[in-house]
Amino acid sequence: MTQSEHSNTLEKATAPAPGPKATPPQPRWRLQTFRSLRHRDFRYLWFSILGTSSGQWMEQIAVAWLVLDLTDSPTMVGLVFGARSLPSLFLSPLGGVIADRADRRMVLVVSQTFAALLAGVMAVLSLTGVLELWHIFALISGFGMMWSINNPARHALIPQLVPREDLMNAIALNATGFNVSRSIGPFIGAIFLATIGFGGTFVVASALYASVLFITLSIRTRRPPVALAKASVVEDLRAGVRYVRAHKDILTLIVLAMFPIVIGMPYMALMPVFARDVLGQSEFGFGLMMACAGMGSLAGTITLASLTNLRRGGLALLTTGLVFGIAIFAFGLSKNYILSLVILVFVGGASMMYLSVSNILIQLRVDDAMRGRVMSILMMEFGLMPLGAMAAGGLAELTSPGAVVMTMGLILAAAAVTAMVLLPHIRNMSISAAGTAGREPPGDTAEPVRPPRGPASC
């Protein structure tokens, strides 16, 4: 070895080991509310949600007001509300299996195509003067069937469009898109209903559904869907149920999500009754009430999307459930229109934050191969909403709308407090910025679900 080579070797041996690369200083705070929209395909999905949800809210306000006007019965309003939601109870599990078997994007395309056709049929029947009450129930049930297939696929598609670290933000923005339309859709629907009539409103809704198809067709998924062709549909359904039962945290979160959906959300079925009979408002007043609830929901989900983590996500879940119950109680007590509008902002904000945090906690704990089926089980709970809506409508005729809504609020608040006391492992759940939920509590690690016997496997 030459002297120069020996010197070089000695210098390398005595040189300090290279340390980690210095990272540029990060700002102490950055607004990251819309960071998921930097992903092209999620942007397309998000804009499709705006169009689809706007059409849904326009049609819902038009149908609710027309049925109340035709029948003068809160019970019938609850029944038509139920006709839209009841199919979720039976078809959402099938929608989950389809979401795990098929191209989720194409599931959205097909279901939205049928929704556009159904809205077109409703418009034609109304504009030709042959629309009857049974037509409304039949077509609204058809909408319910379509959304029962659409919703699990849409929720299951989100993790295919964003990296895991942006999943919490993407789920919150998904709800935000829904609530942007919830803020403006009812009021615009009320304007259309008062100016161009019921048929014209459904022409606009059909056009919105049709325009969404072009946006959805532009989505490119990050990875192919999970193939389950060898398993039967029944085995797929059973595997989803076994998976939820084996993962106790997921099961508990699904049960907790049921209370606001079944007991709290049916307040919406009584909104036209409150608007006309309690607060003395017309279509515009009804639309503004729905819009205020939507603005609250929008504010809640934007706040959630702006957060990078929730160290006490479970506590936030139960706290918003408590606020939801108190706000519903206050709404039932109010006889002043302006005060009711203010209260509805809190009702909408608390309800949507509860559902969004619940969704995030579940999504971060579920395997992608089971995502569609687990989300479909969660969506099934919306099929139970008609039971609450029909019960609320019937009790409102026997007593009063205010008494019914106040009772709903008390039940919800009591359920939230009970869960805080009895479920500490849920109360202590966290959501991190990296997109991972807090650690499972000791003793709750689920055993892997065994595949069904025979050649079919899940």
Position 32 scores a pLDDT of 65
Q: Does domain 37-221+234-427 have CATH number 3.30.40.230?
A: no
The token duo for 444 is 């709750």
Position 105 scores a pLDDT of 85
| Neighbour-count burial of 71, counting CB atoms closer than 10 A to its CB (0-12 exposed, 13-18 middle, 19+ buried) | middle
Q: What is the pLDDT along the chain (458 residues), one digit of tens a residue?
A: 554 544 444 444 444 444 444 444 443 334 567 778 888 888 888 888 888 888 888 888 888 888 888 887 777 877 777 777 777 777 777 777 787 777 888 888 888 889 889 999 999 999 998 988 888 888 888 888 888 888 878 877 888 888 877 777 787 777 777 767 766 777 777 788 888 888 888 998 888 888 888 888 888 775 555 544 556 667 777 787 888 888 888 888 888 888 888 888 878 878 888 888 888 887 788 888 888 887 887 787 777 766 656 667 788 888 888 999 999 999 999 989 999 999 999 998 888 888 888 877 887 788 877 777 787 777 776 767 767 777 777 788 788 888 888 999 999 999 999 988 888 888 877 765 444 444 333 333 333 334 333 333 33
pTM above 0.85, yes or no: no
Position 338 scores a pLDDT of 93
Position 439 scores a pLDDT of 39
Cα 12 from Cα 8, distance rounded (Å) = 6
Cα 324 from Cα 321, distance rounded (Å) = 5
The token duo for 385 is 């909403």
**Nearest Cα to 91, choosing from 377, 386, 390, 385?**
377
Cα 24 from Cα 299, distance rounded (Å) = 33
Q: Are 211 and 118 in contact (CB under 8 A)?
A: no
Position 418 scores a pLDDT of 92
Note every long-range contact of 88-91, with CB atoms under 8 Å and residues 24 or more positions apart, other chains counting: 88/144, 88/147, 88/148, 88/151, 88/379, 88/380, 88/381, 88/382, 88/383, 88/385, 89/380, 89/383, 89/384, 90/148, 90/383, 91/145, 91/148, 91/149
Residue with tokens 């902002």: 345
Measured at the alpha carbon of residue 26, what is the angle toward residues 23 and 30, in degrees to the nearest 5?
Answer: 150
Position 296 scores a pLDDT of 85
Cα 356 from Cα 163, distance rounded (Å) = 19
The token duo for 379 is 């969506």
